[in-house]
Structure 1
Amino acid sequence: MKIQKFKYNESGLNRFFGPLEAKVMEILWNQPGEMTIREVQQQLEAEKPINFNTVMTVMNRLVDKGCLRKRADGRVTMYRPVLTKQAFLEQQSRELTHDLLEEFGSLVVNHMLDALEEADEQLLEKLEKRIKELKKEQ
């Protein structure tokens, strides 16, 4: 699944989702197994009242986007994330990196290297190790 609209001016999950979509995904990622619309609505209502139909619409949009999977269990529909949060973030960051490299090439690499000046030592060590692995593979 590739999120079509990455929002640079947002932060966290709001870069990939609308605010309510992000909250729904967080709820589902934080619960083991599946949840119903009503269960998600109840958790959202801990913050402020929200209409059941609004939650249903958002969750079905997330199904259409390929982020949630749903299945019927009698008269109830159960929802769960397609990917774990970590897997989702890895996939999206990979897609974004590939898109940036494809469009801007060496400029992106240069900016990433400049950003490494602010990176911690462990990240630099991981990068060095990965570069060595890539050189061995070639």
Structure 2
Amino acid sequence: MFGLGDLESSVMDVLWRVAEPVKVREVLERLSTPRQLAYTTVMTVLDNLHRKGWVERALDGKAYRYQPALSREEAAARALRTILDSSGDPEAVLLHFAQSASEEEVDVLRKGLRRKARKR
């Protein structure tokens, strides 16, 4: 995911795949990485993600349970907004994207723009 390191992205992927808040040990058990990770490594990554606003946590006994602060789709939209805001020419970026979009994606964009126009 844009703005996250590889391990942070892997941890977020685990959190997005589970239905309920999970403890560090549960994240560690679900991670599929090429190397064995220490519990403290995953705990540090989750703490960093919490500090960055990517995850929420609640104390459950002596340990925290973690869950995503936003959905995968909201995170992707946030990344796209960051790209557009930092591009210097968001119109050009959007036009290039529109040229690469599939017919299904174009239909979805049209529906979204119609909804937005109705809300005004």
What is the TM-score with the length of structure 2 in the denominator?
0.79
Q: Give the CA RMSD over aligned residues.
A: 2.7
Match status 1:51 vs 2:38: yes
Measured at CA, do residues 22 and 94 of structure 1 come closer, stay the same or move farther in structure 2, by a change above 3 Å? Answer: same
> Residue deviations 1:65-112, cap 9 Å, x none?
000111111112111111111112122312332343xxx24xx42343
Partner of 2:102: 120
Which has the greater radius of gyration? 1
Partner of 1:110: 92
Match status 1:88 vs 2:70: no
* Percentage of matched positions with identical amino acids: 26
Query: Number of aligned pairs?
Result: 118
- Counterpart mapping for 1:44-83 below 5 A: 44=31, 47-83=34-70
How far off its partner does 1:32 sit? 0.5
What is the TM-score with the length of structure 1 in the denominator?
0.70
How far off its partner does 1:36 sit? 0.3
Distance of 1:115 and 1:86 partners within structure 2: 17
Match status 1:29 vs 2:11: no
Tell me the SS of whatever aligns to 1:32: coil
Partner of 1:5: none
How far off its partner does 1:128 sit? 5.4
How far off its partner does 1:38 sit? 0.6
Equivalent AA in structure 1 for residue 69 of structure 2: V
Equivalent AA in structure 1 for residue 17 of structure 2: N
> Which structure is higher in RCO with an 8 Å CA cutoff and minimum separation 6?
2
Point out where structure 2 has 5 or more consecutive residues left out of the alignment.
none
> Residue deviations 1:115-135, cap 9 Å, x none?
43333234444555638x65x
Tell me the SS of whatever aligns to 1:77: strand
Partner of 1:97: 84
